[in-house]
Structure 1
Amino acid sequence: MFLSLCAVAVLAAGCRRPQEPLPGAATEPAAAVRQLVQHLHDNDLAGYARAAVPPAQYAELEAAWAQGHSRWPLDELPLHDKLPALLATLSAPDAETRLQRAFKAQLAGQAASVRQAAHSLGLFGEQYISHQGDYSDDERAHYVQLVKALSAWAQAAPLSDPKLAGSAIATLTTAARATGLDSDAALQQAGMTGSLQRLAPFVAASKQVLAGYGLSLDDSIAQLRTGLARQDGDHAVVHVQYPLAGQDIDLQVALERRQGRWYLARTLAEVDAVLAAARAAAAASGEGQAAPADAGDDAGTRPAPAAKP
């Protein structure tokens, strides 16, 4: 689900008139989703991670990161294993020159080719998501909407404009160098919270670049609406609507309540799996590991240790 929220945060655009709140907007599950998205709006990646999981799990994820057994929440992103290499490429001393040269050779003045590529990739993406991947029916429907909207945007966006490209390259290279995160070793040394804090300005710079191509993150988040579709005890389904590249996106997300707070059900399942694997890896290597917390079928029924400050 982190991917879905990031898609809202990275791809959305368009200014609309304020709309009425969805039914159940004031409920706790609906508010929990808005809180998560607000952290992304504020470029507060560490705040997002803290709000996405129970406190004890956050502490355990921090320990797993330090031991090299987890890169959550980064590992929920597409091509997450390429992030250090991407930052290293953007941070290189000659990055601007090399990237400008590559742009001129591959994209400059190629508006028609870029439009065709965007169209073809959109069709491929729709077909892949419709028939492949480990998605629920709701997630599959949501991602198909995202791909269609993104493909339509890319076909109209000035992606081959040399002036915009020069500005984008300068912004991203400067922001990447500031992170100091050009390798997995650097990520591990900085720690989970530290890495997320260092990445926050890079996210802000990326949003600035996208705005230059007509994609406004903050406008979209300001117009995101949530409501309660249904609730059964500690399980709920939240209705979410937001504008994306001139289109209205509509989806439903499942939430689960643990220790009195609501969390995205898919995130909890993914984190449970990450921590189980991290515990197994730590045990195999003889490393110390925090006691399991909030994981498995009895999640949320055991007392939780205090989270790290």
Structure 2
Amino acid sequence: MRFRPLRRSLLPLVAVLALAACHHQDEASQVGGSTPEAAVQGSIDLLKAGDFNGLWKHALPPAEYATLRADWSRHNANQPPVSAADKAKFDEAVQKLTGPDAENKLYAELQPKLDQMEQQYKDQLPVMISVGDALLKNGVAQNKSLDGEQKTQANQLIDVLVPWAKQAPWFDQARAKQAVGVVVATARKLDLKSPDQLRSMDFDAAMAKYATGYAGLKQLLAIYGLSVDDTLNSVKLSTLSSKDGRAVVKIDYTLLGKPLSAESTLVQQDGRWYSESLINNVHEAHERLQQPATAGSTALTALPAPAASTATKN
């Protein structure tokens, strides 16, 4: 009897939390967001879940989402045929990653190489990563599609990732064995039979494969000390401005213990909020698709990358 007052006092709180959770899930499952912050949070939730189809559907207005889906098959149709040599390499790689006892066979092959690489590159690796740091920042500086704020955000991200890359235990045997297991398990889940299978995938099938690859990548990064989920869970949102159907949301987050921030610009259509940059990316990709193909062009260069586009500027 003495516990009944406590139970009665907790029931309203449980009810509120349940309603809030339902509302949170409802936002992520809807097209767009009811507010700018809800739109960004919904994209973050879908990215964390690896639901790339849901992410595109949530972040884009219905017309742009339909364009993205329609253009997907056209991109695949425009790709050059796969050569016999490339098919043979693909088959060999898939067999090596998915064959019987692949985990132990690959690790047995990798183990002596790790010892050799540690002796040869341990002292050189920080220098090599520093060179990569300079190349990345130069690429950011030369990128004409990024504005000043985006370039600043990209450089801040690089400044956090480079020290991690220098100190990560890349040659650790136990972690290497875990990593091999993740790679093999991911390859088996992807269940890729041939390069032509990749060409013939429709949008839904491709997004499902993206989700599988993304889950494997998150596991690999976590093995070496970088948790994508921890970063996404650390996000705090605040609206910097909202006027005339256009809003800017600040995204504060923590990556590897370092506080970082980014901004996401959203536009309102039919009472819902959507990612301005993703809308522009779909329009630009569609326009490029209308142009005659040029030598050396590839199908996927015109498509925005789901994770990168959403993580930096929704």
| TM-score, length basis structure 1 | 0.69
Q: Which residue of 1 aligns with 2:296?
A: none
Q: Which amino acid aligns with 1:203?
A: Y
Any unmatched runs of 5+ in structure 2? 1-32, 79-85, 294-314
**Residues 246, 267 of structure 2: 8 Å contact kept:** yes
Any unmatched runs of 5+ in structure 1? 1-25, 72-83, 283-309
RMSD over aligned CA atoms reads: 3.2
Q: Which amino acid aligns with 1:197?
A: A
**Residues 159, 213 of structure 1: 8 Å contact kept:** yes
Q: Which residue of 1 aligns with 2:258?
A: 247
Q: Which residue of 1 aligns with 2:202?
A: 191
Q: Report the secondary structure of 1:92's partner residue.
A: helix
Q: Which residue of 2 aligns with 1:229?
A: 240
Of the three residues 43, 46, 49, the one matched with 1:39 is 46
Going from structure 1 to structure 2, the CA distance change for 1:117 and 1:137 (only over 3 Å counts) comes to same
**Pairwise CA distance, 1:158:** 0.6
Pair 1:50 & 2:57 matched: yes
**Matched ranges for 1:1-309 at <5 A:** 28-68=35-75, 88=90, 92-95=94-97, 97=106, 100=110, 104=114, 107-109=117-119, 110-181=121-192, 185-279=196-290
Counterparts of 1:183 and 1:148 in 2: how far apart (Å)? Answer: 39
Going from structure 1 to structure 2, the CA distance change for 1:184 and 1:40 (only over 3 Å counts) comes to farther
| Identical aligned residues as a percent | 23
Going from structure 1 to structure 2, the CA distance change for 1:88 and 1:52 (only over 3 Å counts) comes to farther
Q: Report the secondary structure of 1:253's partner residue.
A: strand
Relative contact order higher in (CA < 8 Å, ≥ 6 apart):
1
Counterparts of 1:257 and 1:59 in 2: how far apart (Å)? Answer: 18
Q: Which amino acid aligns with 2:95?
A: P
Counterparts of 1:244 and 1:276 in 2: how far apart (Å)? Answer: 36
Going from structure 1 to structure 2, the CA distance change for 1:94 and 1:181 (only over 3 Å counts) comes to closer
Going from structure 1 to structure 2, the CA distance change for 1:126 and 1:230 (only over 3 Å counts) comes to same
Higher helix proportion, which one? 2
State the aligned residue count: 244
Counterparts of 2:168 and 2:66 in 1: how far apart (Å)? Answer: 42
Larger Rg: 2
Return 27-36 or 241-250, whichever deviates more. Answer: 27-36
**Pairwise CA distance, 1:146:** 0.9
Going from structure 1 to structure 2, the CA distance change for 1:27 and 1:251 (only over 3 Å counts) comes to farther
**Pairwise CA distance, 1:46:** 1.3
Q: Which residue of 1 aligns with 2:22?
A: none
